Structure 1
Amino acid sequence: MLVKVFEADNMPDALKKVKEALGSEALILSTRTVRKGMGVFRKPIYEVTAAIDSSEPAVPPRPRSSSKQTPATRSDTGEDEITYSQLWKQRKVVDPFEDELRELKNQVASQAASQAASQAANQDLSTVRGEIDELKALVKQLSDQPAPQPAAPQVSPPPAIMTREVAARHMRKPATNNSGSDDIKEMALLRNNLTSYGIEAEAADAIEQYAWETLSPQQMQDQERLKEFYSDAVQSLVRVTGPFHCSTKQRRVALVGPTGVGKTTTIAKLAANLLLQGGIRIALVTIDTYRIAAVEQLKVYGELMNVPVEVVLTPEQLQEVFARHQDKDLILIDTAGRSPKDDVSLAELNTFLGPESGIENHLVLAASTRDSELQSTVENFSRLPLHSLVFTKLDECDQRGSLLNVPLHQDLPLSYLTNGQRVPEDLLVADPAAVAGFVIQQQ
């Protein structure tokens, strides 16, 4: 049996290379995504390991000297030929039949070394095929896939049919005669669906791989089942902090972020919601002295809710406010909008909210902003000790994949979401189901 590894920028191209090199009778042993290069944004490469019965080549050999031929694998001369030992070490998931396959490899090697005539070779091949049948029987017992139709008792199934059956089990889809066209269609369907939700490559790769390992062929064709699967996947990937809870120790929370993302309004929503729950004493603080309107707006909210509002100009004054309001359970701090690219402004903010301040910094981001800008904003504000992310303006955008893309890439949880201007109604505690609803169901 000839085993080869193929690499391409996407799965359809990789499957095409398998077909061109080994023909439509090839056995797909494994698929995986690897990343080549350095850094976080290194390019993903799709790797397909395939095999063919070397005694019956599926396609005639092609000349290797053609200038138009593109190498499909890691070697300069063509596809790598590897041993079974190397093959199974490459698999991301440990195969439950590895011991049987290792024994099969040893028997094939021993038989190949001792064969001296065509009759002996035919007997060896028959033995190998019998052991493959035994392995297929084991797979049948543990798999929830429908069992293939048995071959006529007097005739062994031809190698091509067995190859497609084993490949179908590995790919969790039925055997076909279209040389992988259904694979390509289903891969494209998955990727198009995820793209339509605004989910970018890093998260999409994880969801797509999990779909191939989990869903049956019939479920792949069911759009409602796919939506349910996507929703479950998003819920499993996103992290959340849960709502604010106040213990015996005073909690100090600051909202930071760029200009115009809704920090002051979100402060008011948080205070109003917590006051409605009852039993929580709150004070509001602003260090946004750049905008008089922001200070006045917070004072109006404070008067309406009957909570004190403090204005501070220096870190020392902020500490004095903490001492003056020791009886409060929660202090909410509003800050001036800062440009993510203004190093001086961010350094100044760090003097108020740095690691020694004892303040939780929640970075506020507008969901209507492009993902690339959101990622850059988080990275620049990370000079502050960030506790979590707050996403606002969910009502102003159709695609909300950033709710998954940014937290997943930056490894930060979500705390709150806002989807309107009303105080206090348009505030939601970020929980996995709510995030999935915004991203997948597009609520």
Structure 2
Amino acid sequence: MIVKKYLVTDIKEAFEKIRGELGKDAVILSTRKVKKGGFLGIGAKTYLEVTAAVEEKKTPQTEEKGQIYKLQEILSKTKQPQQSTEDLTELKRMMLELKSMVASQRANEPQWVQDLRKALEKQDVDEEITEKVIEYAKVKYQELDFGNENTRLILSEMFLPFMNTSIPEMKGKVLFVGPTGVGKTTTLAKLAAKLKLNDHKRVGIITLDTYRIAAVDQLKTYAMLLDVPIRVAYTPKEAKLEVEALSDYDVILIDSAGRSQKNELHMTEIKAMAEVVDPDLVFLIIGMQYRAEDVREIADRFSIVSPTHVVLSKMDETSSYGHFVNVPTFLNVPIAYVTNGQRVPDDIMEANSRELAVLLAREVLKNARSGK
């Protein structure tokens, strides 16, 4: 029997390569997703590793065994558009069987691995990052003792490769974007106070959030207390004029309206406004109460405005800190600040990779000890 492995981007490419090299009688023995490239797995691309085999004697296969699928049968289906439903059903069956295999393998893992996986899931750490951390732990330490306080340091060191933090120099035009209700306006006010009172910079504020009267009034109140100018723009043209009017200020903080990442029109509007404003920095505000899958979607949709930094908000409203590693991985941009309350300007802190890694490790260790 000839057995070969193929690294491909999708199952269609695998079919073509296998048929070309092994012939139409080849069978697929197994498939699995693998990561290649990047640094410590960061930035790596996902591929499909397909193992196929064929008997050296060209005798036809007459039956299927276990996880073996007849390539010839699947290929014959892909040639017939009217059988697309059957193709989809077959692929779904394959995926269900593969998931069953994975679940079976995990059930036989050592208890410490099962506890670590549950703890990472509890912290809403992305599944791919979870598996990388577990594989590294298996190779490097063979076993982790969750009763030992030193394990917190070990965990924090394992999280560091997935961390990315950076505090930018606040100058020029800074645009704040994000979904509704994540605290953009409050975050802007906190940074305005820091820049004015601590850094002694000349600060101007522009609000584009004319959809919410309360947001405009809130910013006007902060601006009055800080003694900084505030302008209101209702259209992209007005936004451009207001930016020009404040051009001699050190920093112009620009508040945008909250936009749902699921609404195509909203995304188009925020992109158009960003193009007119032409910001030097773009802060994407993401609430830490969101689930990992929501954060991935937000990161993907708001990429149209090219965020330069992320602010994680509302840390005080959750005990899941997985987004410390999720967000830099999803967006490939650093976390600049984390907010943990409503007080202006107190409840905001500069992001530090080691500090965030320790916070996440503390919660993971707590969850692992409880086994929940």
Q: Which residue of 2 aligns with 1:54?
A: none
Q: Which of 233, 238, 249 is residue 158 of structure 2 equivalent to?
A: 233
Per-residue deviation, residues 228-261 of structure 1 (Å, max 9, x unmatched): 111112223111122x424xxx521111111111
Q: Which residue of 2 aligns with 1:341?
A: 262
**Alignment check: 8 A CA contact 2:236 2:272 kept:** yes
Letter matched to residue 351 of structure 1: A
Secondary structure of 1:434's aligned partner: helix
Greater radius of gyration (CA): 1
Q: Distance in 2 between matches of 1:262 and 1:404?
A: 21
Letter matched to residue 309 of structure 1: I
Q: Flag the 1:235–1:409 CA change in 2: closer, same or farther, 3 A.
A: same
Q: Flag the 1:356–1:293 CA change in 2: closer, same or farther, 3 A.
A: closer
Note the C-alpha offset of 1:270.
0.7
Structure-2-length-normalised TM-score = 0.67
Q: Flag the 1:312–1:210 CA change in 2: closer, same or farther, 3 A.
A: same
Note the C-alpha offset of 1:385.
1.6
Per-residue deviation, residues 341-366 of structure 1 (Å, max 9, x unmatched): 22112212212212881342211111
Q: Which of 331, 345, 356 is residue 424 of structure 1 equivalent to?
A: 345
Residues 394-433 of structure 1: pairs in structure 2 closer than 5 A:
394-433=315-354
Per-residue deviation, residues 76-110 of structure 1 (Å, max 9, x unmatched): 9xxxxxxxxxxxxxxxxxxxxxxxxxxxxxxxxxx
**Alignment check: 8 A CA contact 1:234 1:432 kept:** no
Secondary structure of 2:265's aligned partner: helix
Q: Distance in 2 between matches of 1:410 and 1:349?
A: 18
**Alignment check: 8 A CA contact 1:367 1:403 kept:** no
Identity %: 30
Bigger relative contact order, structure 1 or 2 (CA pairs below 8 A, ≥6 apart): 2
**Alignment check: 8 A CA contact 1:236 1:432 kept:** no
Q: Which residue of 2 aligns with 1:245?
A: 169
Q: Which residue of 2 aligns with 1:387?
A: 308
- Once the two structures are overlaid, the 10-residue window that deviates more, 250-259 or 265-274, is 250-259
Q: Which residue of 2 aligns with 1:310?
A: 231
Q: Distance in 2 between matches of 1:192 and 1:44?
A: 26
Note the C-alpha offset of 1:439.
2.0
Per-residue deviation, residues 388-407 of structure 1 (Å, max 9, x unmatched): 22111111111121221232
Note the C-alpha offset of 1:194.
2.3
Letter matched to residue 307 of structure 2: L
Q: Which residue of 2 aligns with 1:112?
A: none
- Once the two structures are overlaid, the 10-residue window that deviates more, 285-294 or 432-441, is 432-441
Q: Which of 233, 246, 257 is residue 325 of structure 1 equivalent to?
A: 246
Q: Distance in 2 between matches of 1:422 and 1:376?
A: 29
Per-residue deviation, residues 301-327 of structure 1 (Å, max 9, x unmatched): 000011111111222322222322222
Aligned residues: 285
Q: Distance in 1 between matches of 2:201 and 2:261?
A: 33
Q: Which residue of 2 aligns with 1:35?
A: 33
Secondary structure of 2:308's aligned partner: strand
Note the C-alpha offset of 1:66.
12
Structure-1-length-normalised TM-score = 0.57
Q: Which of 129, 138, 148 is residue 203 of structure 1 equivalent to?
A: 129
Q: Distance in 2 between matches of 1:232 and 1:411?
A: 20
Secondary structure of 1:332's aligned partner: strand
Q: Which of 289, 292, 295 is residue 371 of structure 1 equivalent to?
A: 292
Note the C-alpha offset of 1:298.
0.2
**Alignment check: 8 A CA contact 2:206 2:231 kept:** yes
Secondary structure of 2:149's aligned partner: helix
Per-residue deviation, residues 132-169 of structure 1 (Å, max 9, x unmatched): xxxxxxxxxxxxxxxxxxxxxxxxxxxxxxxxxxxxxx
Q: Which residue of 1 aligns with 2:141?
A: 215
- Once the two structures are overlaid, the 10-residue window that deviates more, 335-344 or 303-312, is 335-344
**Alignment check: 8 A CA contact 2:177 2:255 kept:** yes
**Alignment check: 8 A CA contact 1:354 1:385 kept:** no
Q: Distance in 2 between matches of 1:278 and 1:356?
A: 24
Q: Flag the 1:224–1:198 CA change in 2: closer, same or farther, 3 A.
A: farther
